[in-house]
Amino acid sequence: MFIYDEFYFIYAIIIFSISMFANIRIQSTFRKYSKMKCRLSGYDASNLVLMQNDVTGIRFYKTQGNLTDYFDPRTNSISLSDGVYDEFNVSAVGVGAHEAGHAVQMARNYFPMKVRHFLVPVTNFCSALSMPLFFMGLIMVYDSLMTFGIILFSVSVLFHIVTLPVESDASNRALRALEQSGRLSAEELEGAKKVLMAARFTYIAAILTSLISLLRLIMLSNRRKK
């Protein structure tokens, strides 16, 4: 009765719809531009962005999975998935270049990236405790516990908000380097841009869903206090 209020299904449908739309968009865009072949692989594009920005000392790894690509600032390494590392298509180029954009951020001491890196362990800790504490306070009618749970959950919202400019900046650095290199045609550059725009929407979706979740916690808390 505390969790399944009359707004629960509306809330669940909105969250599900936003998440599904973002996932379908990135998957369909990636598949579409995976069919557009080009002269660079994902690995080539990643290396190209690093060279265009005079960034050295980055290690590369090939990892399994679909869209499991990431830059690890702790090891100064880029991991590219099977569908990106040695695939010669526009989607692979966009993703590979984007991860190199993060490496450039680290080399340039991009402040928002430092903030996000600091927030990762804090967010993991707060996320693990926020919901149990909130619903414990809700059941026990303990206002301070509910408030504390909301505050902890707000950290994850902050993390998503900080993540968006970091990801957007990495994409912009990647596209700028690809364009300046002259290695891609205008059509290929436009395709890479669309791949990265679709990926960017997943971060916007994460902000929206986390804000909606936070709003629901606040609404539940206020109703329980009455």
Q: Which of 99, 179, 187, 188 is catalytic?
A: 99
* 101 close to 73: Cβ distance less than 8 angstroms: no
* 196 close to 169: Cβ distance less than 8 angstroms: no
CA distance 108 to 63: 26
The two tokens of residue 199 are 């990926």
3-state SS, the chain, equals CCCCCCCHHHHHHHHHHHHHHHHHHHHHHHHHHHCCECCCCHHHHHHHHHHHCCCCCCEEEEECCCCCCEEECCCCEEEEEHHHHCCCEHHHHHHHHHHHHHHHHHHCCCHHHHHHHHHHHHHHHHHHHHHHHHHHHHHHCCHHHHHHHHHHHHHHHHHHHHHHHHHHHHHHHHHHHHHHHCCCCHHHHHHHHHHHHHHHHHHHHHHHHHHHHHHHHHHHHHHHHC
Check if 188 is active-site: no
Residues identified as active-site:
99
